[in-house]
């Protein structure tokens, strides 16, 4: 049987996971590819620490110099799992220049420098795959490239950050405040310390940029995606959401509006009976709607050595199948052979129209609700439900409102005026509402 | 731009749906393929009835003779959507013999004659795809071929028959008896009249045969899959299941036990907090576990013109990409280039070990429960929970039990002895339990 040779650059969690999959399922993979897939070289700055996997690479495979891998004439597929931006980009471009196909899990790199990398793959005539860059083990990139390829993708709503979802799940199930939930997530290994990229929405926005690029066949950049995190969500918000029939999730949302595209990441309320509301703990899920397929959901583990290793190796298998058939570039990186039919124009967040949740903390004085309602009305915002609850005997009260659909710019102006009222004691919490109202 | 020519055989619901997708999303598809995909010929016995789609094929495309399509030298891809076994098989084999790639949605044909068709595709060197044959618009076949290809698939639990799921949902939500729920499903177009293949489990078993064949890379036949339907499930069973913390679903289950494979379709109780328990109405879902990816779920619409049309056209796009690259057989039908490493041996149902639900209808006499419990104990079946409820003042009582894991052959023997007791008034209902006990 012929051999297809792989070089791995970056032997951390994901690199070791990919190596473990290739060893553990060597026979299955050979049967599916029709060739042996063999790891020929592994580059990492640390070539001595035990990675705790059940297969130990021979010491002779290791090098500290990534260029030893990308320039090795025996290697067919270079797997970039080092992370980071500049060095990773240099490694990938050099690998492509040397005629290697490339697999990467580097969501930040693709979301920030995608156009340059996609162009290089096409220019050098090599394959580029990145299933592991979005939602770990869930093959949603494959679904967008293949199974849903007959559709115009209309909606994507993703729970793409497992750390944030774990934290929100703990806050919901155990009533923990954000800081305590973060502590527990860090302690159990579900979060880095501090988990800034996760809870701030950047990680989910990286992944959303990649999903949109695939859905529309043209690169979208991280910087163009509006993002907020979950840092300000309180147990009160979660309880009020529950009373209104919603759960709070960090959602990555993209919608095709015809002339423009919505692309945003923020905490959002979603009806409890929506299938995404029941995605708990560190699980990820992506809800997609296509014009013909209707609603689709993909669910699984979005991180971790084994699921991410599974995704990386599925990409290696795909490229190895292409190589075995003598056809290295069956599909361009974004699975569109021709430029897409239309330009992607991302709608500014100010133009968003959606229902809102406002939690106003105000002194318990006569006329407060009427002043707040008056301001909302001035800005064409109409209220659909209100809950008012005292905090303690003399403290401020919480006035919580759900609105009908309103324009973001109006909501921002109204809340700014409300927060200027002398009776308002704290900054008002604003959470956008997704999905039909229950 | 070059053209890839398609012939459609069978212009019913799915055929018309596929045609509609190809017309409505012509530009997107061309951009994704890099060639125009053009329908050149449509064969159907009925070439006059309006199909109610928004694009009308030119009359000149139609023929009543399928052979006009499979022998047309201009046609690259033949799409078999006529259904049935013998004629469909003849059409597919003749198309392959004429060098055409083939797309089919014909689950019964693949589950009953798969080996002959897969062999012919390899022999004639043509592509064969069948995404629409399982779970309509959900690209689970693509996931098994590609995104999960690095894994040994360990577990598949599918809700694969939308009609049965709709009926069970109505029974659960509205307390309807089976017959009334069927009537409503027929009235609303969710079921054929009578829905024998659906509610008897045959349709789900066809699909499970295809999933297992892909997961293991060797054809499994419909006849080897144990199946029961949902006809005997009563509103009482659904209520008792609810009390125990379960929902009742028609599940298609496959498990890799190492030496053998479990493959069975039957009504089953699944914990309410399992993600499959919340798949309602006519939706389908497939829960898969791979040794590295862990749990994965795929969810969407399993039937209907538009979702199934989406799946058929995704297959056309995949084959068109292969044709455009000059590589017609990138992947064999079951996505394994070499014979699988091991033989598939299906475990006989008698050897199944699982927890059970028994609903015994007995006369309300002293000692009944002890006689029943004694028989179960004789057969090494231990009870984990019991509910006993009277039916009316003088009627029989229902004794409902959940057991710990027991062997199917023991369960059958015990129930046969129980049903022979003079105090037992009706045949005992047996439902297998899936998933960890809540």
CA distance, residue A3 to nearest chain B CA (Å) = 14
User: What's the confidence (pLDDT) of residue A337?
Assistant: 87
pLDDT digits (tens, 9 = 90+) for A289-305: 999 999 999 999 999 99
Query: SS3 string of B342-398?
Result: CCCCECCHHHCEECEEEEEEECCCCCHHHHHHHHHHHCCCCEEEEEEEECCCCCCEE
As a whole number of angstroms, the distance between CA A95 and CA A105 comes to 15
Residue with tokens 């006499």: B365
Q: Which is it for the CA torsion A196, A198, A200, A205, positive or negative?
A: positive
As a whole number of angstroms, the distance between CA A161 and CA B139 comes to 23
pLDDT band of residue A330 (cuts 50, 70, 90) is: confident
pLDDT band of residue A16 (cuts 50, 70, 90) is: very high
Taking CB atoms and an 8 Å limit, are B326 and A327 in contact across chains? yes
As a whole number of angstroms, the distance between CA A109 and CA A83 comes to 8
Kindly list the residues from chain A whose CB atom is less than 8 angstroms away from the CB atom of residue B336: 31-32
Q: Which of A275, A300, A317 best tests the B interface by mutation, with the highest count of B CBs <10 A? A: A300
Taking CB atoms and an 8 Å limit, are B292 and A29 in contact across chains? no
As a whole number of angstroms, the distance between CA A55 and CA A20 comes to 6
In this structure, are residues A205 and A227 in contact, taking their beta carbons and an 8 Å threshold?
yes
The strand pair at A406-407 and A356-362 is best described as unpaired
User: What's the confidence (pLDDT) of residue B341?
Assistant: 58
The DSSP code sequence of B216-248 is HTS---GGGSEE--STT--HHHHHHHHHHTEEE
Count of C-beta atoms within a 10 Å radius of residue B64:
10
In this structure, are residues B358 and B430 in contact, taking their beta carbons and an 8 Å threshold?
yes
Q: Shortest CB distance from A338 goes to which of B21, B34, B217?
A: B34
User: What's the confidence (pLDDT) of residue B124?
Assistant: 96
pLDDT digits (tens, 9 = 90+) for A96-130: 999 999 999 999 999 999 999 999 999 999 999 99
What residue of B is the nearest CA neighbor of A292?
B306
CB neighbour list of residue A11: distance below 8 Å, 6 or more residues apart? A19, A42, A43, A44, A46, A47, A51, A62, A81
Q: Shortest CB distance from B150 goes to which of A25, A299, A341?
A: A25
Pick from A79-88, A261-270, A331-340: least confident: A331-340
Residue with tokens 């509301």: A277
In this structure, are residues B103 and B315 in contact, taking their beta carbons and an 8 Å threshold?
yes
What residues of A act catalytically? 207
CA distance, residue B420 to nearest chain A CA (Å) = 45
Taking CB atoms and an 8 Å limit, are A330 and B327 in contact across chains? yes
- Give the mean pLDDT of B76-81: 98
A306 touches chain B (CB under 8 A): yes
pLDDT at B438 over 60: no
Q: Which of B1, B151, B331 best tests the A interface by mutation, with the highest count of A CBs <10 A? A: B151
The burial class, CB within 10 Å (0-12 / 13-18 / 19+), for A317 is buried
Pick from B55-59, B195-199, B389-393: least confident: B389-393
Instruction: Give the residues across from A119 on adjacent strands.
Output: none
User: What's the confidence (pLDDT) of residue A217?
Assistant: 83
CB neighbour list of residue A351: distance below 8 Å, 6 or more residues apart? A260, A407, A408, A409
Tell me the three state secondary structure of residue A374. helix
User: What's the confidence (pLDDT) of residue A392?
Assistant: 62
Whose CA is closest to A265, among A164, A356, A334? A164
Q: Shortest CB distance from A31 goes to which of B30, B301, B338?
A: B338
As a whole number of angstroms, the distance between CA A22 and CA A36 comes to 10
In this structure, are residues A410 and A379 in contact, taking their beta carbons and an 8 Å threshold?
yes
- Give the mean pLDDT of A35-39: 97
Taking CB atoms and an 8 Å limit, are A139 and B150 in contact across chains? no
Taking CB atoms and an 8 Å limit, are A330 and B335 in contact across chains? no
User: What's the confidence (pLDDT) of residue B214?
Assistant: 94
pLDDT digits (tens, 9 = 90+) for B322-344: 999 887 778 889 998 887 656 78
Percent of chain B with pLDDT over 90: 86
Report the b/e string of B288-321 with b at 16+ CB within 10 A. Answer: bbbbbbbbbbbbbbbbbbbbbbbbbbbbbbbbbb
Whose CA is closest to B188, among B162, B159, B160? B162
HSE-CB for A311 with a 13 A CA cutoff: 30
- Give the mean pLDDT of B179-190: 93
Taking CB atoms and an 8 Å limit, are A297 and B299 in contact across chains? yes
Whose CA is closest to A211, among A275, A134, A295? A134
Start-to-end Cα distance in chain B: 58
Whose CA is closest to A156, among A261, A244, A233? A261
Please state at what angle helix A368-378 crosses helix A408-419, rounded to 10 degrees: 150
Whose CA is closest to A434, among A302, A249, A200? A249
In this structure, are residues A94 and A72 in contact, taking their beta carbons and an 8 Å threshold?
no
Residue with tokens 């619409």: B301
B28 touches chain A (CB under 8 A): yes
Kindly list the residues from chain A whose CB atom is less than 8 angstroms away from the CB atom of residue B146: 139, 142, 146, 314, 317-318
Start-to-end Cα distance in chain A: 58
A340 touches chain B (CB under 8 A): yes
Residue B207 appears among annotated catalytic residues:
yes
In this prediction, the answer to ipTM > 0.85 reads yes
- B-contacting residues in A 205-244 (Cβ below 8 Å): 217
pLDDT digits (tens, 9 = 90+) for A181-240: 999 999 998 888 899 999 999 999 999 999 999 998 888 999 999 999 999 999 999 999
Pair of tokens at residue B308: 């199934």
Average pLDDT in chain B: 94
Tell me the three state secondary structure of residue A72. coil
As a whole number of angstroms, the distance between CA B160 and CA B208 comes to 8
User: What's the confidence (pLDDT) of residue A34?
Assistant: 93
Phi and psi, residue A233, nearest 5°: -70, 135
Phi and psi, residue A351, nearest 5°: -90, 0
pLDDT at B73 over 60: yes
The strand pair at A261-271 and A226-227 is best described as parallel
């Amino acid at each position: 049987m012929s051999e297809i040779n792989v070089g791995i650059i970056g032997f951390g969690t994901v690199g070791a996971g990919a190596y473990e999959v290739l060893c553990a399922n060597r026979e299955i993979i050979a049967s599916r590819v029709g060739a042996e897939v063999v790891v020929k070289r592994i580059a990492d700055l640390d070539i001595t620490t035990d990675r705790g996997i059940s297969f130990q690479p021979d010491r002779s495979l290791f090098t500290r110099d990534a260029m030893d891998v990308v320039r090795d004439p025996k290697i067919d597929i270079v797997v970039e799992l080092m992370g980071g931006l500049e060095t990773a980009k240099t490694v990938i471009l050099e690998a492509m220049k040397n005629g290697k196909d490339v697999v990467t899990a580097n969501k930040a790199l693709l979301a920030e420098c995608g156009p340059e990398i996609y162009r290089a793959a096409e220019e050098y005539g090599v394959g580029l795959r990145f299933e592991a860059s979005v939602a770990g083990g869930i093959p949603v990139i494959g679904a967008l490239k293949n199974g849903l390829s007959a559709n115009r993708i209309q909606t994507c709503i993703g729970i793409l950050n497992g750390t944030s979802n774990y934290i929100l799940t703990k806050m919901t199930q155990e009533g923990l405040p954000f800081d305590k939930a973060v502590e527990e997530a860090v302690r159990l290994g579900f979060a880095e310390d501090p988990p800034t990229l996760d809870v701030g929405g950047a990680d989910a926005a990286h992944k959303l940029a990649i999903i949109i690029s695939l859905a529309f066949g043209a690169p979208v950049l991280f910087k163009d995606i509006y993002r907020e995190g979950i840092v300000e969500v309180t147990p009160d918000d979660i309880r009020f959401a529950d009373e209104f029939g919603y759960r709070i999730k960090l959602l990555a949302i993209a919608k095709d509006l015809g002339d423009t595209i919505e692309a945003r990441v923020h905490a959002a309320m979603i009806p409890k009976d929506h299938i995404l509301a029941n995605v708990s703990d560190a699980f990820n899920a992506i809800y997609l709607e296509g014009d013909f397929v209707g609603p689709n959901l993909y669910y699984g583990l979005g991180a971790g050595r084994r699921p991410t290793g599974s995704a990386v190796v599925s990409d290696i298998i795909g490229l190895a199948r292409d190589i075995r058939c003598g056809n290295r570039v069956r599909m361009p990186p974004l699975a569109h052979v021709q430029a897409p039919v239309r330009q992607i124009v991302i709608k500014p967040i100010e133009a968003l129209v959606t229902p809102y949740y406002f939690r106003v903390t105000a002194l318990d004085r006569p006329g407060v609700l009427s002043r707040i309602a008056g301001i909302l009305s001035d800005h064409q915002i109409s209220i659909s439900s209100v809950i008012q609850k005292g905090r303690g005997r003399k403290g401020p009260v919480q006035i919580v409102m759900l609105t009908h659909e309103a324009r973001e710019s109006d909501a921002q102006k109204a809340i700014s005026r409300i927060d200027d009222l002398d009776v308002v004691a704290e900054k008002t919490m604003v959470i956008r509402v997704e999905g039909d109202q229950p």
